[in-house]
Amino acid sequence: MAVCRRDATRTLLAWGANSYGQLGLGHKNDVLLPKAVKSFLFNQSCIKNITGGGGHSAVLTDTGEIFFCGQNKDGQLGLGHTEDVTHFTLCSSICDCPVIQVACGWDYTVILVGNGQMFSCGSNSFGQLGIPDISGRCTIPAMIKSLQDKIINIAAGLRHAVAVAESGSVFQWGIGMALQAKRMCQEKNIPSFLRAKEPCKVPGFENVKVKSVASGSHHVVSLTDDGDLYVWGNNKHKQLLSKDSVVLEPQKIEAHYFEGEKIRRIWSGWTHLVVQSETEKVFTWGRGDYGQLGRSEMPCEGQSKDRKGSTEHHLKESSYAPATVPRLSGASEIACGSEHNLAIVALILSLVLLYSRIEGNSTL
């Protein structure tokens, strides 16, 4: 799903899997080519942001309204029922305060409003709503009252959520990461913030100020005001740049991985990471076998089996370290899906003036 802008108008385009009506096109058939979403209750030039979860989608307008469509069996659309919705529908229960950010997990949604408060809806089977009093599911966004800090940024993983407070502190809840960590490191104690079913402060940020977070299926990356990255969670695909299979507490990624530059923006897929540096270079790393890093070349056909295997091993190992994607330098927007990415890059045309002398005149 993407927003295409032409002059002062914007058109919402949708394509791909549509089993639950998550494309907002009024049906549940998959769509191979981008198609305009026409049935909208407002001018599409008002679209501020779009995001999606396991089977549902959300559109945020510049006036702070949110529209949902798609899978709704756990009430993740916040519409007061559990029927799937094939057209983008206004979430009217949260119209009193402008929404500034929406994060969609696998089967739940977290909503940040202008006064810094958070709401959530959908499944709470793993504590991902951050409201222990709710068992099962929640069909209308409920306030996460236990979190008193003013929140400025949020992210949702498969079955966990993360929030950044104005003070720079980080909070996490939902036990999805803890369950996986237990399976992978049975002899280690799992930190309390990974086991919490309501917002719990993440340790390790006492001397730094975090300004934003992004989450994969079972990992988290945070960005500080100083342009440094801290990561924790599952490291199966070396997306956390650690020798450990699981990073149980925030671990800083050294600047040398990014040619000594500070980082200004972060994004995360399910098992890969994308960041943009202060000079607008884009670095990617982590799992790359679906081409989600945007830089790996596959072995050429005709190679011997041994040579091909050796090349694949080399590519897999080299993908662990962050590397630049030259074609994405200067990208104004980047979005990560589970195993794919979208980017908006301005085309800079270099004009070379060629002079030819024609009857004594210089012409271009």
Q: What is the pLDDT of residues 295-306, one digit of tens each?
A: 864 433 333 444
What does pLDDT average to over the chain? Answer: 86
Contact 272, 336 (CB under 8 A): yes
- Ranking 6-15, 162-171, 221-230, 232-241 by mean pLDDT, the lowest is 6-15
Provide the pLDDT for residue 151: 98
CA–CA gap between residue 190 and residue 193 (Å, rounded): 8
Count the Cβ atoms, other than its own, within 10 Å of residue 316: 15
Domain boundaries, the chain: 146-294+316-357
Contacts of 128 (CB under 8 A, 6+ apart): 105, 108, 120, 122, 156, 159, 160, 161, 173, 174, 176
Contacts of 120 (CB under 8 A, 6+ apart): 108, 109, 110, 111, 128, 129, 130, 131, 138, 141, 142, 144, 161
Contact 81, 68 (CB under 8 A): no
Identity of residue 263: I
Residue 361 has pLDDT above 70, yes or no: no
Higher-confidence position of 184 and 109: 109
Contact 147, 199 (CB under 8 A): yes
Q: Which of these, 235, 218, 113, 215, lies nearest to 162 by C-alpha position?
A: 215
- Ranking 88-97, 142-151, 192-201 by mean pLDDT, the lowest is 88-97
Find the Cα–Cα–Cα–Cα dihedral 291, 250, 171, 292, rounded to 10°: 0
Q: Which of these, 287, 180, 184, 288, lies nearest to 237 by C-alpha position?
A: 287
> Which class for 151: exposed (0-12), middle (13-18), buried (19 or more C-beta within 10 A)?
buried
CATH of domain 146-294+316-357: 2.130.10.30
Residue 341 has pLDDT above 60, yes or no: yes
Evaluate if pTM is beyond 0.85: yes
Q: Which residue has the tokens 């199966």?
A: 236
Q: What is the mean pLDDT of residues 335-345?
A: 90
CA–CA gap between residue 102 and residue 22 (Å, rounded): 16
DSSP 255: G
CA–CA gap between residue 67 and residue 92 (Å, rounded): 9
Q: Helices in the chain by DSSP H: which ranges?
A: 176-184, 192-195, 305-318
Higher-confidence position of 37 and 350: 37
pLDDT tens for 249-290 read 999 999 999 999 999 999 999 999 999 999 999 999 999 988
